Amino acid sequence: MCLRHLVFEDVLQEDPSARISAPVLRRALPSVLAIEEVESLLGSPDLGTWMGQRDAALLEVLYASGARISEAVGLRTEGIEPSLRVLRLHGKGGKQRIVPIGDRARAALDRWLSEGRPRLKGAARRPEVFLSKSGKPLDRTTAWRRIQTLALKAGLPRRISPHVLRHCFATHLIEGGADLRSVQEMLGHASIRTTEIYTHVDAEHIQSLHRLYHPRG
């Protein structure tokens, strides 16, 4: 019988369970690739083809910026700032954020924009960075399938979605010493609570360093 009902019936003076704190359920961290696995995936496209150059640029953008797949396929040429090495991404609710990218992502984008993309019909008239064979904007479903195909080519045993690279971006940043607030800004999370899913990654990394280097670890 419910304890609260027993209190209501004057069988008990108080509900003893009222002093018991409810368990805090920690959200599970999504699947994350090791850095070596990410390198294998990024190196899987055939750079001798226009499609390989596009796929390489897409993968590099996803991992370098933490962009959602919708933000990556929606990226426009005017959203690339060559001199600043940043991308202007449009996230949920139309909110814009600026995210830095590294040399590898910048080089992959340059190769795609200067070599592969101009080969596609009508590419010069399209504002979107990533295009399909027909010259139309690349859609999320096609991008997802390409990443699946490249993951298999790279020998990755798990099913890889574009969102996995977003989680890899955040996890590897935090493991490298980035603070949670900065990662929140780059991911475009409205609340820090959303980004807190990665806090235990930081704690585990610190613990591993302690075990490795402390004389009594």
pLDDT at 83: 75
Q: Establish whether 163 is a catalytic residue.
A: yes
Please give the CATH number for the structural domain made up of 35-213: 1.10.443.10
Instruction: Say which DSSP state 95 is in.
Output: -
Which residue of the set 4, 5, 26, 92 is catalytic? 92
pLDDT at 29: 57
* Predicted local distance difference test score (pLDDT) of residue 31: 74
Q: Which positions of the chain have pLDDT values less than 50?
A: 1, 22-26
Instruction: Find the catalytic residue in 106, 117, 167, 189.
Output: 189
Q: Residues 68, 106, 117, 167: which is the catalytic one?
A: 68
Helices 35-42 and 50-65 sit at what angle, rounded to 10 degrees? 150
For position 36, what pLDDT does the model report? Answer: 94
Query: 158-163: which pairs have CB atoms within 8 A and are 24 or more residues apart?
Result: 158/31, 160/33, 160/41, 162/62, 162/68, 162/69, 162/72, 163/30, 163/68, 163/69
The pLDDT tens digits of the residues spanning 129-155 come to 999 999 999 999 999 999 999 999 999
Q: Report CA torsion sign: 89, 82, 114, 104.
A: negative
Burial class (CB in 10 A: 0-12, 13-18, 19+), 212: exposed
CA 14 – CA 127 distance, rounded (Å)? 67
The neighbour count for residue 121, using CB atoms within 10 Å, is: 12
Q: How is the chain split into domains, by residue range? A: 35-213
Distances (CA, A) of 77 to 52, 83, 121: 19, 14, 17
Catalytic residue among 126, 140, 163, 200: 163
pLDDT of residue 201: 66
Cα 38 to chain centroid, rounded = 12
Q: What is the 3-state secondary structure (H, E, C) of 33-65?
A: CCHHHHHHHHCCCCCCCHHHHHHHHHHHHHHHH
Rounded to whole angstroms, the Cα distance separating 164 from 200 reads 18
Residue-level pLDDT at 85? 86
State the Cα–Cα distance between residues 159 and 76, nearest whole angstrom: 28
Angstrom distance (rounded) from CA 189 to CA 180: 11
Q: Which of 54, 111, 166, 167 is catalytic?
A: 166
Q: Is 166 a catalytic residue?
A: yes
Give pLDDT, residue 203: 66
**Annotated catalytic, 92?**
yes
Establish whether 214 is a catalytic residue. Answer: no
